[in-house]
Amino acid sequence: MLTKRIIPCLDVKEGRVVKGVQFVSLRDAGDPVELATFYNEQGADELVFLDISATHEGRETMEEVVRQTASTLSIPFTVGGGIRTLEDMKRMLRAGADKVSLNSAALKNPQIIKEGADYFGAQCIVVAIDAKWSEEDQTWMVYTHGGRNRLPIEVIAWAKQAVALGAGELLVTSMDSDGEKKGFDLALMKAIRAEVNVPIIASGGAGSAEHFYDVLTDADSDAALAASIFHYKETSVAQVKDYLRQKGVPVR
């Protein structure tokens, strides 16, 4: 079994890390550069930085904050939010990102996935999918703009298309579980795992070390991402990894 990854996420708004529940009621969680340094020392496998208001506000990702954050890291660093073009990707990679995360822009212009994969390699391109269960459709539907807009696109179909276009990794967030701390959406992750062969980062719902174990084993996700339980010191990356090691899950 390949080593499983634990990834803290920095949701950044106006230069500060924030966290909410189901994408709303945001509260301050600290300075991105300080938190990045802390997670780097804690043994995080990677770090994800999402400028959560860039797309909604129609502006570019905060390049200087990305540069400052990247300068503190010795682990892979993924940046997303407001990345719309190949030029935006180049800018973020020059600023210190190892990978770029595409969400709204990829849905608007799916060919941007192929352009990025062809230019930088698939390993650089992460497609982020915000998913919410629809009772009406009896499946998960895709949302954009920080969970504000529902699209008439089914999550599994979009995941398969993104991978076919060259996405090297999928970052899948369950909006239903986000910030609830009741566990990852295992059914969602299993449904996507059954259809794609690229690494899946599960996001939304982490509340305990057991939840990481469940999504990494039961749902066979490759990585698990969390924010609030790490930011507010409810547990640590080191504690989660210790628990996983005790349960026989390979971690770094």
| In contact, 70 and 89? CB cutoff 8 Å | no
Q: Identify the active-site residue in 51, 130, 178, 185.
A: 130
Q: Identify the active-site residue in 11, 51, 88, 214.
A: 11
If residue 132 lies in a helix (H) or strand (E), which one and from where to where?
Answer: strand 125-134
| In contact, 114 and 169? CB cutoff 8 Å | no
Rounded distance between C-alpha atoms, residue 192 and residue 103, angstroms: 17
Assess whether 185 carries a catalytic annotation: no
Using CA atoms in the order 78, 116, 63, 96, what is the torsion angle rounded to 10 degrees? 50
Within a 10 A sphere around the Cβ of 68, how many other Cβ atoms?
16
Burial class (CB in 10 A: 0-12, 13-18, 19+), 135: exposed
If residue 112 lies in a helix (H) or strand (E), which one and from where to where?
Answer: helix 111-120
- Listed in order, strand segments (DSSP E) in 23-68 are 24-30, 47-51
Q: Which amino acid is at 221?
A: S
Q: Which amino acid is at 73?
A: L
Assess whether 130 carries a catalytic annotation: yes
Crossing angle (nearest 10°) for helices 209-217 and 237-246: 60
Within a 10 A sphere around the Cβ of 40, how many other Cβ atoms?
17
Distances (CA, A) of 198 to 106, 123, 201: 17, 10, 10
Active site residues: 11, 130
